[in-house]
Amino acid sequence: MPSLRQLFLSHVAQTSNLPMMLEVDHAKGIYIYDTAGKKYFDMNSGISVSSLGHCHPKVSAAIKGQVDKYAHTMVYGEHIQNPQVAYASLLSSHLHPSLDSLYYVMSGTEATEGAMKLAKRYTGRTEIIACANAYHGSTQGAESLRSDEDYKRAFYPLLPDVNHIEFNNKADLANITKRTACVILEPVQAEAGVLVPEDDYLIAVRKRCDETGTLMILDEIQTGFGRTGYLFAYQKYNVKPDILLVGKAMGGGMPIAGFISSQAIMSSFVSKPVLGHITTFGGHPVCCAAAEATLSTLLDDEIVSSVLEKEKLIKSLLVHPIIKEVRSSGLMMAVELTRRKYLKHVVGKCYEIGLIVDWFLFNNRSFRLAPPLIISSDEIKEACAIILEAMDFAQGQYK
């Protein structure tokens, strides 16, 4: 009889030769438990998803309540479903008044696709500008936005008329012109290793977009729902996007995402011809119920407002000779090490002790810390002690 591990490797498609292989039994709060009963601190939140931790009782109750009423009645946008309407209304009440129309999809990459299509349709232009070392998803439109040729080469031809600028480089903004449909960027570059916008960079992007009639798309799929200490990072950095992308933490662990704009822009999908973007399961009622419970809990329990204190505490505890710097925006953090070779030892030792941290796609000197936003001060202290122990170990390998 093959083991679960063997069946996993044989029948669940892999994306690397080194999967983590944690055999999950259950998860609760900030912990994941394996089938041998070992407990892991989840300092990664499944890449910024489990902001309320695992199996939050209010989210679980909302899912169970909705699943017994109805799950699916019609493809997106036809029936009036209370969970969809309630969530879209609640979310828009916490956004800039011009971000009042939410198109529901199922994943971040689909939000990127929909937003690019919307920008092309609304402006009648074709050029799309993205930032180097950004990640917006893995479908072919989103993949076209990557700057790294190694990842893209096998998939050509991709979208034409995509050009890149460097994040935080104001001189590059001159490349945005009257033929640019949209500029898409993350307010804090996540996979580049948590690059925070310098000074008024995002405000300068906004200004250039206004000058050229270009739509500004902010991808808040990772930064959204309190991760940076504000409900959305655009609020922290004082800039208003024309289209906002959301996903990941939105559903409290359920698959739901969206792109949000004004009704005036969004209405471009309605005619000439109709059905500008369609999806079967976008805004699934069970996911919407989970999203509503997640957002209400994030706000009612003052979780978002606790994030900056927790960021400060982690930064005060993470002091070690092999740390070069800790970059952060709220609880989205990158710990950069003095030597690249330390990284695999730190990540590996943390895992051996029982704590999960993760790598970045485009930064091989830093590891990611993105704990659930509900993490307590005591849990932060325990987690940081484990990380420091792993750093002692890594340093010891090269003495």
Residues that bind ligand PLP (CB under 6 A): 47, 107-109, 112, 135-137, 186, 190, 219, 221-222, 247, 257
Tell me the closest approach of the beta carbon of residue 221 to ligand PLP, in angstroms: 4
Tell me the closest approach of the beta carbon of residue 138 to ligand PLP, in angstroms: 6
Spatial neighbors of 48 by CB under 8 A, at least 6 apart, are: 190, 222, 227, 248, 249, 332, 370
175 φψ region: left (φ > 0), alpha (ψ -120 to 50), beta (else): alpha
* Cβ nearer to ligand PLP, comparing 187 with 322: 187
Tell me the closest approach of the beta carbon of residue 376 to ligand PLP, in angstroms: 26
Tell me the closest approach of the beta carbon of residue 137 to ligand PLP, in angstroms: 4
CA dihedral defined by 229, 233, 234, 236, rounded to 10 degrees? 30
* Cβ nearer to ligand PLP, comparing 144 with 395: 144
* Cβ nearer to ligand PLP, comparing 129 with 390: 129
What is residue 147's three-state secondary structure? coil
What is d(CA 358, CA 43) in angstroms, rounded to the nearest whole number?
8
What is d(CA 136, CA 108) in angstroms, rounded to the nearest whole number?
7
Tell me the closest approach of the beta carbon of residue 134 to ligand PLP, in angstroms: 7
Q: Which residue is nearest to ligand PLP (CB)?
A: 108
* Cβ nearer to ligand PLP, comparing 14 with 263: 14
Kindly state the helix (H) or strand (E) to which residue 184 belongs, with its residue range: strand 180-185
Tell me the closest approach of the beta carbon of residue 254 to ligand PLP, in angstroms: 12
* Cβ nearer to ligand PLP, comparing 44 with 306: 44
* Cβ nearer to ligand PLP, comparing 109 with 268: 109
Q: Burial code of 233-245, b = ≥16 C-beta within 10 A, e = fewer?
A: bbbbbebbbbbbb
